[in-house]
Structure 1
Amino acid sequence: MKNSSVIAACLFAALNICTLSARAEAEVTAQTYNYGTHLDIQKVISLTQDNSVTCGIVDARMTYLDSAGKTRVLDYSKFADGCNDGN
């Protein structure tokens, strides 16, 4: 009986940690990239972009950790992935 209580407590603690991490990431304010912006990127967490079937400029977002381990979000513009096929 004690083992199942310990396991349940561990699972509950793990779920709370995951919830806090997700909540902290949701509260990060995105920075918009401008030419010359200093970037302190230690590890990229995710890269997303607007879905576009055609070739052109799309909005993209990078979520990353800086050298202090703080989550950062960067919005920027890039060529859509569809542009790379013929070039």
Structure 2
Amino acid sequence: MTVTLMWEARAVPGRGEELLAWARAQELPSRPLRRETFRAPQDRVLVLTWWDAEPDADLPELPEPGGEMVTRAVHRWRFESVDVSAG
């Protein structure tokens, strides 16, 4: 089974690049099947990690960035893959 962890944070205005660099530099104690990092308007950063695990497995997640870098607590969601389609 594939589980995807979603981590999303919103930087203090003007600090989006700093938050993006911080998120990309974070190492996890084990390697996911895949890790993808995104940026969006309003200085948002999104990191998705895919794991071969059960939905309730204890999996490593990115930590909270320093409080001075973000406008609110990180949002986290966990998804279970149900379908994969090519192009």
In the superposition, the TM-score normalised over structure 2's length comes to 0.24
Q: Which has the larger radius of gyration?
A: 1
Which structure has the higher relative contact order (CA within 8 Å, separation 6+)? 2
